[in-house]
C-alpha cells in the first residue's frame, strides 16, 4: 500500500477514464495510475487488463460499473475478473469488504460545505479507507489550507472533479492533496 502512495507522490496526475476513447489515450499517457469510471460486468476485465499490460496501476470505481451490485459478491467478482490494485466507492460497506479482500480502498467524498469537516472527517476515521478522493477537486483549495484538511484527515487525499487546468492541479497539490484525478486528457502528461 505504501508503494502506491509513493507512486502517487511521484506521479500526482491520475487519468480518470469514462469511455473507450479515454482508455486509448490513458494507456498512451504518462499517467501511472488510471481510475476506471465506466464499464460493465462483461467488459471490465478487458478494460483493466489492457491498462495493466501497459504497466499502469488500475483502480475501479465499483459504484459506476453497470450490472454490478455493490455487495460482497460484487467486489469479489471485481477482484477476480478485473484484478485492480484497488477500488473507489462512496459506500461504507464496499470500503470495509474491499479492505478485507486486500484491495487498496479510496472513499469518494463530496464536499458541499464546511459541515463536512465536522461530520465527514469523523465518518472517514471510523471507516478508515486507505485514501480519500475529495469531490469536487477544486473544493480542496477552499478548505485545504484554511482548515488544515490533511492534518484533520491524516490519510492521503486525492482531488477529483472539475480539474481542467494546470493551475487547478497546482492549487490542489499545494492545498493538501497528494494527487489529482482528472478526465482532462491534456493534463495526463504533466
* Mean pLDDT of the residues in the chain: 92
140 φ, ψ (degrees, to nearest 5): -65, -30
Give domain limits for the chain: 2-187
The reported pLDDT for the residue numbered 2 is 60
More confident residue, 171 or 139: 171
Burial of 44 (0-12, 13-18, 19+ CB in 10 A): buried
pLDDT in tens, 130-165: 999 999 988 887 766 555 666 777 889 999 999 999
Per-residue pLDDT of 101-119, as tens digits, reads 999 999 999 887 777 767 7
The DSSP element (H or E) to which 173 belongs, if any, is helix 166-174
pLDDT score at 119? 76
Q: pLDDT > 90: what percent of the chain? A: 74
Checking if the pLDDT of 50 tops 80, the result is yes
Q: What are 71's three cell numbers? A: 455487495
Q: Determine the 3-state secondary structure of 41 from DSSP.
A: coil
Residue 145 has what pLDDT? 57
Query: What contacts 124, CB < 8 A, 6 or more positions away?
Result: 107, 109, 132, 153, 155
- Give per-residue pLDDT as tens, 5-44: 898 999 999 999 999 999 999 999 999 999 999 999 999 9
Whether omega for the bond prior to residue 13 falls within 30 degrees of 0, making it cis, is no
pTM here? Answer: 0.94
State the pLDDT at residue 144: 62
The DSSP secondary-structure symbol of 40 reads B
Please give the biggest Cα pair distance in the chain: 45
Distance CA 100, CA 184 (A): 33
Nine cell digits for residue 83 = 484484478
Residue 147: its pLDDT value, please? Answer: 59
- Output the pLDDT for position 5: 86
CATH of 2-187, one of 3.30.230.70, 3.20.20.70, 3.20.20.150, 3.30.70.100: 3.20.20.70
Amino acid at each position: 500500500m505504501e508503494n502506491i502512495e509513493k507512486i502517487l507522490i511521484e506521479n500526482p496526475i491520475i487519468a480518470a477514464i469514462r469511455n473507450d476513447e479515454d482508455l486509448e489515450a490513458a494507456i498512451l499517457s504518462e499517467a501511472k495510475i488510471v481510475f476506471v469510471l465506466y464499464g460493465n460486468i462483461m467488459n471490465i476485465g478487458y478494460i483493466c487488463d489492457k491498462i495493466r499490460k501497459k504497466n499502469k496501476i488500475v483502480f475501479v470505481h465499483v459504484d459506476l460499473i453497470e450490472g454490478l451490485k455493490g455487495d460482497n459478491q460484487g467486489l469479489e467478482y471485481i477482484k477476480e475478473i478485473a484484478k485492480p490494485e484497488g477500488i473507489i466507492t462512496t459506500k461504507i460497506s464496499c470500503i470495509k469488504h474491499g479492505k478485507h479482500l486486500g484491495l487498496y480502498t479510496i472513499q469518494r467524498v463530496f464536499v458541499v460545505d464546511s459541515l463536512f469537516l465536522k461530520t465527514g472527517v469523523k465518518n472517514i476515521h471510523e471507516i478508515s479507507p486507505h485514501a480519500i478522493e475529495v469531490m469536487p477537486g477544486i473544493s480542496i483549495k477552499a478548505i485545504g489550507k484554511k482548515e488544515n484538511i490533511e492534518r484533520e484527515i491524516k490519510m492521503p487525499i486525492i482531488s477529483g472533479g472539475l480539474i481542467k487546468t494546470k493551475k487547478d492541479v497546482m492549487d490542489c497539490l499545494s492545498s493538501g492533496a497528494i494527487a489529482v484525478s482528472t478526465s482532462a486528457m491534456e493534463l495526463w502528461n504533466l
